[in-house]
Amino acid sequence: MIALKINNTKDFMTKLLVKDTFDNLYVSEATISTYNTFQINGLINKNFYTSEEPESNDSAEYSLWKKLRPFCFELIKGSKTPSFLKIIFLLATKDITTLIETNNLGFSLDDINGLVLNIKYAEGVITCITGSSIKLFTMDKSLEHAFDSYVKQFLSQNNIDFEEL
């Protein structure tokens, strides 16, 4: 687990809310405080869809940021910044598999509940905190370290300026 401070708030918010930078991440939950506090549970309600709709056949449990981003942007856009924002992103299963294989980790996909990126904006500061949830007890931190490196590389590749706290 690492904590990162984002150095350019405006640039980061543009990449988060306007561009497709984070679109391939799933959303566990989001909280946005503007004139009200809005909470989004990213868990897909499969009962909402009929069996004919493609969404009903999607194996994903959570919504992609790509689908929720426009709604979140609508809540935030304007001349005032939100007083608070928190988004909990989940790494896609295929990306977890790639991370395991690329780093030759001693974990299987069945061992992992999820790899999480928490983004929080409060008091003018954006922090990103990584997290991992593993189904078994282990002292092996290789998955956690590989995910930390993955997040730092992702931010760097997208020209997001950050510093480790």
Mapped onto helix, strand or coil, the DSSP state of residue 156 is helix
DSSP state of 24: T
How many residues does the structure list for the chain?
165
Beta partners for residue 69, in sequence order: none
Question: If the chain, 165 residues long, is cut into consecutive pieces of 10 residues, what is the mean pLDDT of each piece?
Answer: 96 96 97 95 82 61 95 87 95 94 91 95 97 89 94 98 96
Is the separation of the CB atoms in 99 and 147 below 8 Å? Answer: yes
What pLDDT is attached to residue 1?
92
Residue 107 in tokens: 């974990």
